[in-house]
Amino acid sequence: MLSKIVRTVANQLILFILIFGLYVIAHGHITPGGGFQGGAIIVSGVIMLLVAFSSKELKKSLRERVLSIMESTGALIFAALAFAGIGTVFFYNFLVGTPIFGRIPVPGPGPGDIWTGGVIPLMNFAVGLKVIAGLSAVVLAIALFSSGEEVEE
Amino acid sequence: MRQVTGLILLLVLVALLVWGVLPPIMRDFGYPPSDMDDYIIENAQEETGSNNVVAAVLFDYRALDTLGEATILFTAVMGVLLLLRTLKRKEESS
Amino acid sequence: MEYIPLNFPFLAAALLVGVSFYIIIFKKNLIKLIMGIAMLAAGVNLFLVSLGYRAGGTAPIYTDVPEGPMVLSVPQALTLTSIVINVAVLALMLTMVIHIYRHTGSLDSEKSRKMKG
């Protein structure tokens, strides 16, 4: 566990890192970014918490069982969205043209519209959940193991 | 002897890599063949509705690759957790 | 568009792959071996991205972009896939190195080769 100044600054900073990561995930279909990049940003925030507090402190609020369930949920949402378009073809973008996320932008350069993209924003959220949970579980497991703590499933 | 043989083979490999990358073999930097990418860049906005063409390729045109990638990530994370857990249990029993 | 002589980015990728092959072949430490594998992946990613560059092109995202040619998008998407796979495989390899270190007590690849059972 590091000094009190580092812990206080990390406590304040994690909020902004979470908001920036969620922004990158949510705008993945109109600006540079997406599920992988935003997930990596949030996992960097988790690593900052892991350095500032010790892994023993972080274990109380971040259970590996919950992370495992989150990762499986992301994978299931991804596969379900893939199977939902199987009436036409596997991974068909069935939401284009419908009211939800279905607007078609004006062709060519222009300002972005958040209600476009079909299943792409939903898949960004699923992949982001998967990356956050998976990489956090790996980092937390290695930190717990190297400090001699108990690693639960 | 093994070191010398390895060094010679390595130099041959690097020479092959550099030879294959220079202009008579490789086309010039900045002028790639682009039929498929021209189609994707022109039609991605009408077909998928996404302004970000990379996201359209990742989740619509080539989504099967992303499914395989998600499977690899899942398997690797499960492998890491499984290996660390069995190591802990073995230390307790011994 | 200015002409870049000698295909310089391809040459840099080839030399990076050559240096990482040197590390993989001649280094005995397992951590250095894994660093070599990571450098090999970085070289391959650099080659893929520079293969998809179009002269004077912008990023393939239509939000507030100037008119003109766009960089190819399929190599960029596959590079993104490749980066995430590399992170996952690197974590798995480091976990196996922890196993080997607990089992043999050293990080030498010559000693861990004799490990049986």
Q: String of b and e for A33-72 (b: at least 16 CB within 10 Å)?
A: bbbbbbbbbbbebbebbbebbebeebbeebebeebbebbb
A123 contacts in chain B (CB < 8 Å): 59, 63, 66
* Pair A120, A93: CB distance under 8 Å: yes
C-alpha distance from C16 to closest chain B C-alpha (Å): 10
Distance CA A66, CA A69 (A): 5
Q: What's the distance, Cα to Cα, between the start and end of chain C in Å? A: 61
Considering only the top CATH level, what class is C10-110?
mainly alpha
Does the pLDDT of residue A91 top 90, yes or no?
A: no
* Pair A113, A105: CB distance under 8 Å: yes
CA A79 to chain centre: 16
**Residue C45: predicted pLDDT:** 95
Please judge whether C66 and A31 are an interchain contact, meaning their C-beta atoms are less than 8 angstroms apart.
Answer: no
Give domain limits for chain C: 10-110
Does the pLDDT of residue C44 top 90, yes or no?
A: yes
Taking the C-alpha atoms of B6, B10, B12 and B18 in order, what is their torsion angle to the nearest 10 degrees?
A: 180
- Residue B76, chain C, CB below 8 Å: the answer is yes
| Chains touching A (3+ CB pairs < 8 Å) | B, C
Residue A129's closest CA among B55, B73, B56, C90? B73
Please judge whether A93 and B88 are an interchain contact, meaning their C-beta atoms are less than 8 angstroms apart.
Answer: no
**Residue A95: predicted pLDDT:** 80
Tally: H helices and E strands in chain A = 5, 0
pLDDT band for position C101 (cuts 50, 70, 90): confident
* Pair C49, C60: CB distance under 8 Å: no
B54 contacts in chain A (CB < 8 Å): 32, 34
CA A23 to chain centre: 11
Please judge whether C74 and B28 are an interchain contact, meaning their C-beta atoms are less than 8 angstroms apart.
Answer: no
Nearest CA in chain C to B91: C102
- The model's pLDDT over A4-40, given as tens digits with 9 standing for 90+, comes to 999 999 999 999 999 999 999 999 888 888 889 999 9
Q: Lowest-pLDDT range, A2-11, C68-77, C102-111?
A: C102-111
Is the ipTM beyond the 0.90 threshold? no
Taking the C-alpha atoms of C57, C62, C68 and C72 in order, what is their torsion angle to the nearest 10 degrees?
A: 40
pLDDT band for position C104 (cuts 50, 70, 90): confident
Distance CA C109, CA B16 (A): 28
**Residue C61: predicted pLDDT:** 87
**Residue B91: predicted pLDDT:** 65
- Residue A145, chain C, CB below 8 Å: the answer is yes
Q: String of b and e for C14-46 (b: at least 16 CB within 10 Å)?
A: bebbbebbbbbeeeeebeebbbbbbbbbbbbbb
- Residue B43, chain A, CB below 8 Å: the answer is no
Residues 6+ apart with CB under 8 A from A43: A131, A132, A135, A136, A139
Q: What percent of chain C has pLDDT over 70?
A: 91
